[in-house]
């Protein structure tokens, strides 16, 4: 990947200003210039790497390529393809994008007066060429990140004293990604191009990936600012994600091992899956995998490899069938969580609603004569079925 430029804009709602503070044309700079801003380059490279590792991402598309942000991006790319780029022309288009963001965020603040004024932030842009392509075709990666500033205690020394000051700046990478305090939103836009016989560049938007460090992706970032639409809505995501994980569990039933221990493990994993989808508002891929295929679970079946199941689930991360982060719609999977348990040719137990403590409600035992029984806990001694069975009455159908 060849970086073409880095750019940074300051967004301040208190001062009502959108200010370009940095632009670096890496392609046209000499080694000394690149060396002088090596910290900026390191920050940019690590930010893109962190963005690639984010799990709260979703695929989007642009309903109209005439929308303000994507149209400005396409103009920037054409400047590079035509080799007619100038810093001021690119900065002019980046400023247009940045001002749009500032307007949309300010509009949200004004409409929702209960919101605190967002922390000062920067919009960070990076344009890269993904491959060393020829002049007639190639692929670009246009990256945008909105990163909130943090306060740092900065120390500096003069001739005799150590001076400490609180300053604002952008947080750098964290060694522990799960404990990172960085609050940011990103958009990665992949665009390919071909130059036709008339030497006109034909651009094709291949993929749009949007992320947010919050539980859900902010509408004002994805829809209002970028004017992008989800490829998969929440209902489709919920159903697809549930089905793909359920397939991994159901495949265990294909084993020749038909022991009670194997059945108990399948039941545990199914309950864990149902519990996650019915008890959480937001889907987070990594948390789902750890919740359903928890490494701490000790399988009843000695030859069940939990690590193998965990690895299979992790591979779903790159699935095009569902996003890694979305709002769960419980009603989509409620019917799938219902269970019918065959007791005999005459009797089934039907579980109409998922319960996290199902194993405490329904259990099995063997009496002194070796007869197997199913035992079901009821809510009270006034329970109708409980009374009927005491009196040996036939349960109503």
What pLDDT shows up at residue 144?
96
Please compute the mean of the pLDDT values over residues 358-385 and round it to a whole number. Answer: 84
What pLDDT digit, counting tens, does each position of 211-259 carry?
A: 988 878 888 999 999 999 999 999 999 999 999 999 999 888 877 777 8
122 assigned to some structural domain: yes
- Spatial contact of 199 and 147, defined as CB atoms under 8 Å apart: no
Tokens of 3: 């970086």
User: Does 148 reside within a domain?
Assistant: yes
Classify residue 155: in a domain, yes or no: yes
SS3 content of the chain, % helix, strand, coil (to 5): 40, 30, 35
- 113-140 pLDDT, tens digit per residue, is 655 555 678 899 999 998 765 667 889 9
Please report whether residue 326 resides in a domain.
yes
**Cα separation, 94 vs 8, whole angstroms:** 9
What was the pLDDT predicted at 394? 46
pLDDT tens sequence across 134-189: 667 889 999 999 988 766 666 776 666 777 665 666 666 655 444 455 678 999 99
The pLDDT assigned to 114 comes to 56
Label residue 383 by pLDDT band (50, 70, 90). confident
> Helical H runs in the chain?
31-36, 38-53, 68-81, 87-111, 219, 234-250, 260-279, 285-292, 306-314, 331-337, 358-361, 384-390
With respect to residue 187, please indicate whether it lies within any of the assigned structural domains. Answer: yes
Long-range contact set of residues 131-134: C-beta below 8 Å, sequence gap at least 24: 131/1, 132/2
Distance CA 258, CA 260 (A): 7
Q: 206 and 250 share a domain?
A: no
Rounded Cα distance between 109 and 106, Å, is: 5
Between 48 and 55, residue with greater pLDDT: 48
324: tokens are 């890694």
The yes-or-no verdict on residue 395 having pLDDT over 50 is no
Domain count, the chain: 3
> Poorest-confidence range of 48-57, 202-211, 300-309, 386-395?
386-395
Average pLDDT, the chain: 82
Q: Using CA atoms, how far apart are residues 2 and 141, in angstroms rounded to an integer?
A: 10
Counted residue by residue, the chain has a size of 397
Q: Which of 5-14, 163-172, 232-241, 374-383 has the lowest mean pLDDT?
A: 163-172
- CB atoms under 10 Å from CB of 248, counted, come to 19
- Residue 384 has what pLDDT? 83
Same domain, 35 and 120: yes
Residues 63-99: pLDDT tens digits?
A: 898 999 999 999 999 988 887 767 788 999 999 999 9
Same domain, 224 and 316: no
Structural domain of 367: 357-397
Structural domain includes residue 350: no
- What's the pTM? 0.69
Residue 40 has φ and ψ, to the nearest 5°, of -65, -40
Q: Predicted confidence band at 396 (pLDDT cuts at 50, 70, 90)?
A: very low
Share above pLDDT 90 across residues of the chain, in percent, rounded to a whole number: 33
Q: Do 145 and 221 contact (CB within 8 A), yes or no? A: no
At residue 215, the pLDDT reads 76
Check residues 30 and 279 and name the one with the higher pLDDT: 279
Percent of the chain with pLDDT over 70: 85
Indicate whether 187 and 265 sit together in one domain: no
Last-in-domain residue among 195, 211, 230: 230
Which residue, of 184, 208, 230, is where some domain finishes?
230
**Tokens 């939103």 belong to residue:** 185
285 and 190 within one domain: no
């Amino acid at each position: 990947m060849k970086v073409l430029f880095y750019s940074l804009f300051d967004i301040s709602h208190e001062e009502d200003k959108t200010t370009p503070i940095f632009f670096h044309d890496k392609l046209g700079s000499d080694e000394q210039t690149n060396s002088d801003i090596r910290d900026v380059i390191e920050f940019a490279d690590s930010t893109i790497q962190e963005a690639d590792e984010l799990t709260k991402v979703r695929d989007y598309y642009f309903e109209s390529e005439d929308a303000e942000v994507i149209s400005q991006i396409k103009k920037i790319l054409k400047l590079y393809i035509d080799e007619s780029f100038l810093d001021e022309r690119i900065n002019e288009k980046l400023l247009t994008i940045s001002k749009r963001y500032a307007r949309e965020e300010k509009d949200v603040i004004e409409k929702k007066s209960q919101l605190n004024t967002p922390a000062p932030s920067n919009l960070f842009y990076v344009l890269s060429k993904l491959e060393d392509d020829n002049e007639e075709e190639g692929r670009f990666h246009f990256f945008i990140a909105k990163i909130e500033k943090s306060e740092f205690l900065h120390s500096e020394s003069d001739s005799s004293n150590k001076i400490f000051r609180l300053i604002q700046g952008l947080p750098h990478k964290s060694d522990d990604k799960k404990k990172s305090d960085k609050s940011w939103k990103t958009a990665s836009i992949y665009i390919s191009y071909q130059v036709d016989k008339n030497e006109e560049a034909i651009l094709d938007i291949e993929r749009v990936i949007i992320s947010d460090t919050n539980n859900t992706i902010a509408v004002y970032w994805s829809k209002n600012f970028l004017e992008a639409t989800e490829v998969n809505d929440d209902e489709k995501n919920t159903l697809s994600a549930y089905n793909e994980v359920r397939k991994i569990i159901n495949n265990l039933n294909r084993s020749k091992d038909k022991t009670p221990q194997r059945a108990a493990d399948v039941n545990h994993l199914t309950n864990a899956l149902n519990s996650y989808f019915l008890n959480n508002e937001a889907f987070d891929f990594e948390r789902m995998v750890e919740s359903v295929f928890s490494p701490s679970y000790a399988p009843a079946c000695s030859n069940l490899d939990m690590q193998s199941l965990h690895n299979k689930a992790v591979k779903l991360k790159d699935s095009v069938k569902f996003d890694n982060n979305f709002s769960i719609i419980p009603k989509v999977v409620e019917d799938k969580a219902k269970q019918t348990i065959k007791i005999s040719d005459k009797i089934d137990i039907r579980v109409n609603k998922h319960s996290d403590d199902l194993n405490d409600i329904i259990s099995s035992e063997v009496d002194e004569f070796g007869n197997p029984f199913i035992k079901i806990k009821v809510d009270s001694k006034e329970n109708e079925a409980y009374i009927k069975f005491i009196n040996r009455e036939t349960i109503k159908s």
